[in-house]
Amino acid sequence: SSTKPPGPFQPTKEDYQKVYNDVAELLDSNDEYDDGSYGPVLVRLGWHASGTYDKETKTGGSNGATMRFAPESDHGANAGLRTARDVLEKVKDKHPWISYSDLWTLAAVAAIQEMGGPKIPWRPGRNDRDVAACTPDGRLPDATKEQKHLRDIFYRMGFNDQEIVALSGAHALGRCHTDRSGFEGPWTFSPTVFTNDFYKLLIEEKWSWKKWNGPKQFEDVSSKSLMMLPTDMALIKDKVFRKHVEAYAKDNELFFRDFADVFAKLLELGVPFKQEEKFVFKATTD
């Protein structure tokens, strides 16, 4: 009857699309920031929130958004991600019903799609947890290492070699910052556009050690304005990884398909979903 009190707010796909649209709007809202887009740092937030997953203990992952709290917020790998969390506060204020864990992963999806990447199917269902659910330091990859470390870290999350290479293509986006990781510079000439350029450059350019006082990284011999991390270079040193790098360098559609699958999987690691249906959001350019 009409005297029944309203139940809790039940968001629909349209409500999540509104959140998507508000994230899309803030991406290019600050010309002064980096290359003019918050997109890359929002992708990194979604990845670091999810990449703590351990399939043996079923701990970590995006469910919980525990990077809001120290000690996880202060882990070296998460340096600089406060910027991403802060920028999303405006969206959270406008849609207070969404959990931070759903918001951060949805924002990463919006960032990829708005920067010209593939559609990433996404579903809600993450709940925020408290500080007790913070994961120990050391679960995210260390860029100074090579293929054995990559396999140790990503196999722990449940990924295979092809998936490791596909995920790494996200380094087409964004840049390294000396005041965050210590490394410096972008991987590609268009760090706010999602492409397979990371693989093309890895294979086609000549790379040498950068001569500087910072951590060991590579620079391209021809322009000296691009960079690769030791972990990126391991993808062409290792024969199995290299096969996939070559395939993605040749075929952008293959990369887009595989990236969409593996990024969706990353964002879902360890989440106890009730909803089966995945949403595919409209991009603002559709």
Q: Which helix (H) or strand (E) element contains residue 101? A: helix 100-114
By CB under 6 A, residue 248 contacts ligand HEM? no
State the Cα–Cα distance between residues 45 and 85, nearest whole angstrom. 8
Stretch of residues binding ligand HEM (CB under 6 A), selected from 40-48, 62-70, 113-121, 267-275: 40-48
* Footprint (CB under 6 A) of ligand HEM, residues 176-195: 176-177, 180-181, 183
Q: Which residues contact 32 (CB under 8 A, 6 or more apart)?
A: none
Catalytic residue among 47, 104, 122, 187: 187
123 vs 171, which CB is nearer to ligand HEM? 171
**Interface with ligand HEM: number of residues (CB under 6 A):** 24
DSSP lists the bridge partners of residue 219 as 208, 227
Q: Which residues contact 65 (CB under 8 A, 6 or more apart)?
A: 49, 99, 100, 101, 103, 104, 126, 128, 129
- 48 in catalytic set: yes
By CB under 6 A, residue 202 contacts ligand HEM? no
User: Residue 176 in 3-state DSSP?
Assistant: strand
Q: State in angstroms the smallest separation of the CB of 123 from ligand HEM.
A: 18
State which residue has the least CB distance to ligand HEM.
174
Catalytic residue among 48, 75, 171, 244: 48
Stretch of residues binding ligand HEM (CB under 6 A), selected from 16-24, 120-128, 169-177, 273-281: 169-177
State the Cα–Cα distance between residues 199 and 33, nearest whole angstrom. 26
Question: Binding ligand HEM by CB under 6 A: which of 170, 201, 226, 269?
Answer: 170
**Phi–psi pair at 211, nearest 5 degrees:** -90, 105
Tell me the per-residue interface mask from 251 to 280 with ligand HEM, x by CB under 6 A, - otherwise.
------------x-----------------
Q: State in angstroms the smallest separation of the CB of 23 from ligand HEM.
A: 15
Question: Binding ligand HEM by CB under 6 A: which of 68, 85, 175, 244?
Answer: 175
**Any idea how long the chain is?**
286
By CB under 6 A, residue 143 contacts ligand HEM? yes
The two structure tokens encoding residue 7: 């139940």
The number of angstroms, rounded, from the C-alpha of 65 to the middle of its chain's C-alpha atoms is 14
By CB under 6 A, residue 151 contacts ligand HEM? no
Task: For the sheet with 227-228, list strands across it.
Answer: 207-209, 218-220, 227-228
15 vs 184, which CB is nearer to ligand HEM? 184
By CB under 6 A, residue 116 contacts ligand HEM? no
The two structure tokens encoding residue 211: 């001569």
Contact at 8 Å (CB) between 258 and 248? yes
Stretch of residues binding ligand HEM (CB under 6 A), selected from 18-26, 42-50, 58-66, 238-246: 42-50
* Footprint (CB under 6 A) of ligand HEM, residues 227-246: 229, 231
Q: 137 to each of 53, 60, 78, 145, 273, how far by Cα in Å? A: 12, 11, 10, 16, 26
Which residues are identified as catalytic? 48, 187
Contact residues for ligand HEM (CB under 6 A)?
Answer: 40-41, 43-44, 47, 80, 141, 143, 150, 167-168, 170-171, 173-177, 180-181, 183, 229, 231, 263
